[in-house]
Amino acid sequence: MAERCAVIGVGQTHHKSKRNDVSIAGLVREAAKMALADADLTWTDIDAVVIGKAPDMFEGNMMPELYLAPALGAVGKPMFRVHTAGSVGGSTALVAAHLISSGIHKRVLTVAYEKQSDSDAMWALSVPQPFAAPLLAGAGGYFAPHIRAYMRRSGAPEYIGRMVAVKDRRNAMRNPYAHLHIADIDMKMVEESMMLWDPLRYLEACPSSDGAAAMVLSAEDAVSGHFPPAWVHGMAMRSEPTMFAGRDQVNPRAGRDCSADVYAQAGITDPRRQIDVAEVYVPFSWYEPMWLENLGFCDLGDGWKLTESGATAFDGDIPWNTSGGVLSSNPIGASGMLRFLEVAMQVRGQAGEHQIEGARVALGQAYGGGSQFFSMWVVGSDKP
């Protein structure tokens, strides 16, 4: 990275199943205004806007970024749209960060959103394809067989998924912006919830949320704001084809390559010891142990043992998803950015009730599509 890049402002909406009080423009503006206020800036201080969301088919709005430009103060400024399926919130932040690190802009506003109450994502993810039987039932239907493969491969006991479902919802109780606040969540409640895509139960799956996330990124000589900046220590994206012979869908190579790249940039050789807190895209409970292995926090087959030991819990040595994660809020296009945003909040010391004391180095990860798009960043409280 030629120029240092800092996160100087963060903002997010209260995520809910229906934000009928605002249009899409109102939703993104709410998050953006909060990020600007945190950075102590106004719209005129921003050089460019980078926006992302999940596929247009979800809400049925073609290229919504065009009509959102005025709401985001982008008239007369460069505005970019990013598309990488569920990982898009992460990739969008990275495209914005590239505009800083390349020296092109001083301050960039990046925004991501989804208004699932306006959309029918389940339908949009299940449309008939000419070369596949019409069997796919949303993202859960796609990922459940791969979760079963992980369970078979690792020998993990079936209660591991329920542990993650409970842990992330308990973390969400600390986060006023989280969609789900289930005060009495426990293993029994998860076990008794409806089986949707066997082996996945209702409470092991993410909700459908309306919400937006925004960040202001700046160059070193343009830092402002009410909290110390989060410095970007590494950023990487990778992709791989959805289908090829020998593809490992449980432990995708693109994810391994992406983490190797971001760790090399950030000087991380032992993620479990060197990373203080991580926000990882876990839309279905079992993706925690799967990504623990994919991200190199443990050996292959041992991810579930880390979850079981409590290492990833709020008081564990590697807290994962302190915000409550995707399992507690899922405005799809924003979900990746919320991971990146939460870790920035952690190293800036502004996470309130979900603050991990002394967090100095943190990993944000997002994935999307059929586990084929990955985006990650490592942020720190010290300059790289």
Partner 1 sequence: MADPTTTEDLGPVTTLATPIRLDFEFTPGVAQSRFLRGLEQGKFMGQRCPTCGKVYVPSRGSCPTDGVPTTEDVALANVGTVTTYCVVNVPFAGQSIEIPYICAQVLLDGANISFMGLIQEIPADQIRMGMRVEAVWVEPDQLTPSLESVRYFRPNGEPDADYETYKEYL
State the binding string over 142-171 for partner 1 (x if CB under 8 A, else -): --xxx-xx--xx------------------
**Which residue shows structure tokens 């859960």?**
140
Q: Which is nearer to partner 1, 55 or 141 (CB)?
A: 141
Nearest by Cα to 53 from 22, 28, 23: 28
Which of 87-95, 101-109, 238-246, 295-303 is the region at the interface with partner 1 (rule: CB under 8 A)? Answer: 238-246
CB 210, CB 331: distance < 8 Å: yes
Which of 46-54, 236-244, 272-280, 316-324 is the region at the interface with partner 1 (rule: CB under 8 A)? Answer: 236-244
- Measured between alpha carbons, how far is 163 from 178 in angstroms, rounded to an integer? 19
Q: Is residue 254 helix, strand or coil? A: helix
Q: Does residue number 56 form part of the binding site for partner 1 (CB under 8 A)?
A: no
Q: Does residue number 132 form part of the binding site for partner 1 (CB under 8 A)?
A: yes
Q: Which is nearer to partner 1, 76 or 241 (CB)?
A: 241
Q: Per CB under 8 A, which of residues 171..200 are in contact with partner 1? A: 194-200
Q: Does residue number 20 form part of the binding site for partner 1 (CB under 8 A)?
A: yes
- Measured between alpha carbons, how far is 27 from 53 in angstroms, rounded to an integer? 13
Non-local (6+) Cβ contacts of 96 within 8 A are 48, 50, 108, 109, 110, 215, 217
Q: Does residue number 127 form part of the binding site for partner 1 (CB under 8 A)?
A: yes
Q: Which is nearer to partner 1, 197 or 291 (CB)?
A: 197
Q: Does residue number 138 form part of the binding site for partner 1 (CB under 8 A)?
A: yes
Q: Which is nearer to partner 1, 142 or 340 (CB)?
A: 142
- Measured between alpha carbons, how far is 313 from 321 in angstroms, rounded to an integer? 8
Non-local (6+) Cβ contacts of 342 within 8 A are 279, 322, 323, 351, 354, 364
- Measured between alpha carbons, how far is 257 from 21 in angstroms, rounded to an integer? 42
Q: Does residue number 17 form part of the binding site for partner 1 (CB under 8 A)?
A: no
**Which residue shows structure tokens 């007369």?**
76
DSSP for 139-185, written as a single string: HHHHHHHHHHHHHHHHT--THHHHHHHHHHHHHHTT-TT-S---TT-
Q: Which is nearer to partner 1, 120 or 308 (CB)?
A: 120
Question: What does the longest C-alpha to C-alpha distance in the chain come to?
Answer: 56
Q: Does residue number 60 form part of the binding site for partner 1 (CB under 8 A)?
A: yes
Q: Which is nearer to partner 1, 94 or 144 (CB)?
A: 144
- 120, 186, 261, 308: residue in contact with partner 1 (rule CB under 8 A): 120
Q: Which is nearer to partner 1, 118 or 220 (CB)?
A: 118
Q: Does residue number 130 form part of the binding site for partner 1 (CB under 8 A)?
A: yes
Q: Which is nearer to partner 1, 137 or 173 (CB)?
A: 137
Q: Does residue number 63 form part of the binding site for partner 1 (CB under 8 A)?
A: no
State the binding string over 78-117 for partner 1 (x if CB under 8 A, else -): ---------------------------------------x
Q: Does residue number 350 form part of the binding site for partner 1 (CB under 8 A)?
A: no
CB 207, CB 182: distance < 8 Å: no
- 76, 221, 246, 315: residue in contact with partner 1 (rule CB under 8 A): 246
- Measured between alpha carbons, how far is 328 from 258 in angstroms, rounded to an integer? 25
Name the helix (H) or strand (E) containing 98: helix 88-101
Q: Which is nearer to partner 1, 126 or 355 (CB)?
A: 126
Could you list the residues that contact partner 1 (CB under 8 A)? 20-21, 60, 117-118, 120, 122-123, 126-128, 130-138, 140-141, 144-146, 148-149, 152-153, 194-200, 241, 243-250
